[in-house]
Structure 1
């Protein structure tokens, strides 16, 4: 338990916590790798094999291994401590990425070694996000300051996923795409090395056990809602592109529309962290998920691209708050010894939803009216919010 004196909750107060600035900066440096690696791998594999199908398979293996093994890696960090567990993960991951870069440096890469290397790299991806959020819970002396810390963390992560692909695009202008994979390895290894050297990191917790998911407690409900949020938002990119094409707009405007969604998310995240909420985290999570779903569903009724832009910007206001609150709710549901694994379940939920939602949306577009596609996308958040109520309702 923290021994720091209470401080007035603010974003400046978060960064004034002992060791916070250095540790957070190191974690963000490492996490920038997550914003660069996916595009770099996709471009490199496509160029080396000349096949989008092979690229899709390799990316699927990489993503599935990374996402679905996230709770297991989080459990290792809870049990052995970040220093002992993160460093080996980063080293193995940092060795496999250059191997993947070497395999894709020239055309004619063999498919089987690419697939195996990508899957192994995904399996070793260091869970820096869940680890940093667990550390915020150690550093913050009260829940209001922790809410600020999580909001700051979420907004920073949003910006990383926007800036990472831009960085790869700049690099691709004068170097082979595989250079982006090398950059990703450098970021993760260098950032993690500084992160694990931080004196504020907790040590191993031999008593840590697996997280209890169901029975009205545990991170199941937040993870389910995060899954719905990921399903809803992942299809928006394709739906926006389809909307622009169907209404004869220039598709070059689509990034600006999606930029409004990101801007809304950043603003919503900052406001969410600044408000002193009275409702419990799980109640707020369900409300944010419902609001997000309703706004995305309503976006399908937009009469023009600028109306769609406004609707998506409003939807974005609830995206970062929903994820931030999901992590808070998961953290509250477990003992301190299992915080990293609990956050990893939520992380797995949103990332699994993002992958499945993009696939499902791609299958729906062209088969049902576009407005109905938006309605279905929004309905997934509503359904997840309803499902998130079930574990608590079973308690007697």
Structure 2
């Protein structure tokens, strides 16, 4: 990777300082274009399969297969990026992923495709999804030579990624106004192809070199260091997925109707965006592992408060407060992963945190779905809060320090 810039940074650098790094805006924009594909592909595939088969059960199964292969195999794809470099690894993945999305669009364009074919294509598609998020965070860690500035870069990255999952469904909705759902899958393929191509051809990646000690996977010593952030990320994912289902159950049981649910969920996203931006703007002196535990504690207490909320507005405030701690926790988890990972495993470390969030979210949806109806909604909120707190407690243990910022880096920026 290119060495960090030698340009002095102010004591409390701003978000503008992040984007003023050489080639940062171009590289970040390209990555966001590609990552927007992940915001559009889920609603596009869901609607296209329903349009093709008329079955929500089939659509749910196809989505589960696509999501499982994409998430569970992400560390393996990230290992390929670490081993071969972004330019050699990401572009073939994006070409395969985009091509298979085109195949998926073709088989859902008209009714009649067997369900097993849809599932097989979805599984192959998920296997090839390029890890643009973890790779972009790895690039941030190489471009930025200041720990405080890296925190701002990760915060900006996290907030932008969350907004992509808000914008994605809106883009799909606009496409559906004049074209069938399968067209939105083709749009997802175009986004991943163009975004990845622009990303890997950015001058910021021109000096990327595969470390001499590149490994096929994370060693046990590195896994120990990753345990804290991975466990917290999984707990956050579980708690968040519980919030989404519990908000819907609360609205249904209290007779508020489905119309209020999107606004309450938007409050979670808005709180997360505000929390992420504020977290990145503070020049923290507290250790990252302590901040991670405090964020998990804050989320847990907010969810407990949601459990005793008497009405719609009080619950909305409580879930917005819960969202306030989400982006800071995830940003800090990525920082810790980068801190304990050796340079040759940096992308993999971020991918493990990303995988933990998604795996926790999937598991949380299943568990919460089973609990709703058996326990009061308030009790379910409290249980999800306890899970977040327990997960955060593990991050206080100091992991073995490996690589990260203690390693000297030489050479000019470009």
Shorter-chain TM-score above 0.5: yes
Q: Are 2:62 and 1:58 equivalent residues in the alignment?
A: yes
| Cα displacement string for residues 3-24 of structure 1 (whole angstroms, at most 9, x for unaligned residues) | 4222121100000000100000
Picking from 199, 203, 215, the partner of 2:203 is 199
Are the aligned partners of 1:81 and 1:203 in contact in 2 as well (CA < 8 Å)? yes
How far the C-alpha of 1:274 sits from its partner, in A, is 0.4
State the distance in 1 between where 2:394 and 2:123 align.
31
Are the aligned partners of 1:222 and 1:346 in contact in 2 as well (CA < 8 Å)? yes
Are the aligned partners of 2:67 and 2:126 in contact in 1 as well (CA < 8 Å)? yes
Picking from 26, 33, 39, the partner of 2:37 is 33
> What is the TM-score when the length of structure 1 is the normalising length?
0.96
Picking from 216, 221, 232, the partner of 2:239 is 232
What is the root-mean-square deviation in Å for CA atoms of aligned residues? 1.5
How far the C-alpha of 1:151 sits from its partner, in A, is 0.3
Aligned residue number for residue 251 of structure 2 = 244
State the distance in 1 between where 2:28 and 2:52 align.
36
Q: How does 1:329-340 map to 2 (within 5 A)?
A: 329-340=336-347
Picking from 277, 285, 293, the partner of 1:270 is 277
Classify 1:213/1:151 alpha carbon distance in 2 versus 1 (closer, same or farther; 3 Å). farther
How far the C-alpha of 1:238 sits from its partner, in A, is 1.3
Aligned residue number for residue 14 of structure 1 = 18
SS at match of 2:237: helix
Are the aligned partners of 1:213 and 1:220 in contact in 2 as well (CA < 8 Å)? no
Picking from 255, 260, 265, the partner of 2:262 is 255
How far the C-alpha of 1:137 sits from its partner, in A, is 0.3
State the distance in 2 between where 1:45 and 1:213 align.
41
State the distance in 2 between where 1:358 and 1:152 align.
28
Are the aligned partners of 1:79 and 1:206 in contact in 2 as well (CA < 8 Å)? no
Are the aligned partners of 2:292 and 2:395 in contact in 1 as well (CA < 8 Å)? no
> What is the TM-score when the length of structure 2 is the normalising length?
0.92
Are the aligned partners of 1:83 and 1:203 in contact in 2 as well (CA < 8 Å)? no
How far the C-alpha of 1:79 sits from its partner, in A, is 0.9
Aligned residue number for residue 4 of structure 2 = 2
Greater Cα shift, 319-328 or 173-182:
173-182
Q: How does 1:1-396 map to 2 (within 5 A)?
A: 1-8=3-10, 9-201=13-205, 202-209=208-215, 210-213=217-220, 217-389=224-396, 392=399
How far the C-alpha of 1:261 sits from its partner, in A, is 1.0
Greater Cα shift, 196-205 or 112-121:
196-205
| Cα displacement string for residues 57-85 of structure 1 (whole angstroms, at most 9, x for unaligned residues) | 11111111100111111111011110000
Aligned residues: 393
Are the aligned partners of 1:130 and 1:343 in contact in 2 as well (CA < 8 Å)? yes
| Ranges in structure 1 where 5+ consecutive residues have no aligned partner | none
State the distance in 2 between where 1:350 and 1:294 align.
20
Classify 1:193/1:271 alpha carbon distance in 2 versus 1 (closer, same or farther; 3 Å). same
| Ranges in structure 2 where 5+ consecutive residues have no aligned partner | 401-414
State the distance in 2 between where 1:46 and 1:378 align.
35
How far the C-alpha of 1:387 sits from its partner, in A, is 3.6
